[in-house]
Amino acid sequence: MPTIVVSSPKAAELFLKTHDLAFASRPPHEGAKHISFGQRNLRFAEYCSYWCDIRKMCTLELLSNQKINSFKSMRIEEVALRVEAIRAAANCGSIVGEQSE
């Protein structure tokens, strides 16, 4: 698969801003066709009006500051639960880390 490595801010601007349409589409991926309803999700869809609509919807409905802030209490609770689980495992002398669970 052809790959381009961008190693400077100026080059990143060229690829992501100036020539973004030339690099926006991804090659078809056989596995993605089966797991993403024929490549109809934000990650696998080709660049087109459908992709733009999905991106806009995700940005407004899932990734807006208001939406992210609405989950603040849940994030705080989840972090506290994780820290407590790590503390309990450490106190028992258990291995601490994602691999141990």
User: Is residue 29 domain-shared with residue 54, that is, in the same domain?
Assistant: yes
Mean pLDDT by 10 residues, the chain (101 residues): 82 84 73 78 82 90 91 96 92 74 48
Which run of H or of E encompasses 27? none
What are the tokens at 54? 């999905």
Phi then psi for residue 86, to 5 deg, are: -65, -45
User: Is residue 16 domain-shared with residue 59, that is, in the same domain?
Assistant: yes
User: Is residue 24 domain-shared with residue 52, that is, in the same domain?
Assistant: yes
Q: Considering the domain boundaries, does residue 2 fall inside one?
A: no
What's the number of domains the chain is made of?
A: 2
User: Is residue 58 domain-shared with residue 17, that is, in the same domain?
Assistant: yes
Q: Considering the domain boundaries, does residue 37 fall inside one?
A: yes
User: Is residue 83 domain-shared with residue 53, that is, in the same domain?
Assistant: no
- Domain hosting 27: range is 9-63
pLDDT of residue 87: 92
